[in-house]
């Protein structure tokens, strides 16, 4: 997209430009994860998180009657830490490990380099789309993936609808503007009831991904596990956040210098997945999910032979993952499968 020819662009186009422009994009030129970055993810807080995901994946494979081949696809590989630990844990289950084809779907060439360095000579395949997936059961893991995809925002005022745009007239002083919008266009595209909303956050990119993933799951079995910032509210609200150096900014700043994210509305996600004929097998908070998978018991085992300082650090990190005042409640977990599948480990 040429900036000079676009003084006003829709919010989703601006987010795509800011995050994924080949030269200027936030995710395309740096590693944003960690203390020196802009945010931190659960796999980088404690390996216990990734171990629990690995155990969950193995259990799902068993639920599918231990197929001889299964695809494990991480959507957005971050810095490679989660899949590194999943690979390590899978070695303890030889039959499962032998059956697995591991994939990372990553948009950023910069992050792919980091992932390949961290994962070394492991049997991971990087894919730009899902065409290379074999026709076998597929488990998709989306940890903080969908919140990094561009969104549109629509505002209702005095019975009139407006779409949020970004004014690029002055690149040093970016600002939001609103343009009149025919909401019927969105209703016909979504084919979902949104009549009770006064504000709508909707990601066309998320809907496209969910449609493609749903087709694969319906055809070959498997599931989609989403772990992300979000809410289960029936009413949508403006959750857009601009994050830099672990802090929320009040302004848009310059293109590509900040992460732009939002809270997933899982009520809308559920409606979209249902439209694509998937079943919501479970939904809960990250804290509940990890505790039901046995993270507390695993922490006790790991802590037994630790010195006091390391034990303290272990439980400090665990607290961040599961406590209601931290990531335990802010993050939600949702599982979608085909309608014949009864797997719901972590949600019972």
Q: Is 62 helix (H, G, I), strand (E, B) or coil?
A: helix
Helix (H) or strand (E) holding 348: none
Q: What is the pLDDT of residue 252?
A: 82
Give the E-state strand segments of 172-309 in sequence order: 175-180, 199-202, 222-231, 241-244, 247-248, 259-261, 264-265, 279-285
Residue 347 domain-assigned?
Answer: no
Task: List the structure tokens of 89.
Answer: 């844990």
pTM over 0.75: yes
Least confident residue range of 188-192, 243-247, 341-345: 243-247
Residue 27 domain-assigned?
Answer: yes
pLDDT at 282 over 70: yes
CATH (domain of 66): 3.40.50.12710
How far is it, in rounded angstroms, from Cα 73 to Cα 57?
A: 11
Q: What is the number of structural domains in the chain?
A: 1
How far is it, in rounded angstroms, from Cα 74 to Cα 258?
A: 24
- The range of the structural domain enclosing residue 277 comes to 3-337
Residue 332 domain-assigned?
Answer: yes
Helix (H) or strand (E) holding 127: strand 124-127
Residue 243 domain-assigned?
Answer: yes
Quick: pLDDT tens for 223-264. 999 999 999 999 999 999 998 877 888 778 778 788 899 999
Residue 142 domain-assigned?
Answer: yes
- pLDDT (mean) for 116-135: 92
Query: Using alpha carbons only, what angle is made at residue 78 by residues 153 and 214, rounded to the nearest 5 degrees?
Result: 60
Residue 325 domain-assigned?
Answer: yes
Residue 23 CB burial class (10 angstroms; 0-12, 13-18, ≥19): exposed
Q: What is the pLDDT of residue 29?
A: 78
Residue 343 domain-assigned?
Answer: no
List residues bridging with 261 in a β-sheet: 241
How far is it, in rounded angstroms, from Cα 22 to Cα 24?
A: 6
Strand duo 138-143 + 124-127: pairing: unpaired
Residue among 283, 25, 10, 20 at smallest CA distance from 154? 10
Strand duo 199-202 + 124-127: pairing: unpaired
């Amino acid at each position: 997209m040429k900036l000079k020819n676009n003084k006003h662009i829709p919010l989703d186009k601006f987010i795509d430009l800011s995050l994924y422009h080949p030269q200027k994009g936030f995710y395309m030129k740096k590693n944003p994860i960690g203390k020196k970055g802009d945010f931190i993810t659960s796999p980088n807080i404690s390996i216990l998180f990734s171990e629990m995901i690995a155990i969950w994946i193995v259990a799902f494979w068993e639920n599918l009657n231990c197929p001889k081949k299964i695809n494990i696809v991480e959507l957005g590989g971050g810095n490679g830490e989660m899949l590194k630990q999943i690979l390590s844990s899978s070695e303890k289950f030889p039959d499962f490990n032998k059956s697995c084809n591991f994939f990372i779907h990553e948009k950023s060439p910069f992050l792919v380099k980091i992932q390949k360095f961290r994962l070394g000579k492991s049997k991971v395949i990087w894919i730009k789309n899902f065409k290379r997936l074999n026709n076998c059961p597929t488990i998709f893991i989306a940890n903080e993936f969908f919140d990094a995809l561009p969104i549109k925002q629509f505002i209702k005022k005095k019975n009139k609808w407006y779409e949020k745009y970004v004014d690029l007239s002055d690149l040093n002083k970016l600002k939001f503007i609103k343009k009149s919008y025919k909401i019927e266009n969105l209703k016909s595209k979504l084919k979902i009831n949104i009549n009770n909303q006064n504000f709508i956050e909707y990601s066309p990119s998320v809907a496209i991904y969910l449609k493609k993933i749903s087709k694969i799951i319906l055809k070959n079995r498997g599931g989609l596990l989403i772990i992300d910032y979000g809410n289960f509210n029936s009413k949508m609200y403006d959750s857009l956040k601009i994050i830099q150096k672990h802090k929320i900014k009040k302004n848009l700043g310059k293109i590509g210098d900040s992460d732009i994210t939002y809270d997933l509305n899982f009520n809308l996600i559920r409606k979209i997945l249902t439209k694509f004929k998937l079943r919501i097998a479970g939904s809960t908070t990250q804290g509940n999910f990890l505790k039901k998978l046995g993270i507390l018991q695993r922490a006790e085992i790991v802590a037994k032979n630790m010195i006091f300082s390391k034990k303290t650090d272990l439980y400090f990190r665990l607290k961040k993952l599961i406590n209601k005042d931290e990531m335990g409640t802010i993050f939600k977990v949702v599982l979608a499968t085909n309608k014949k599948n009864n797997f719901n480990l972590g949600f019972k």
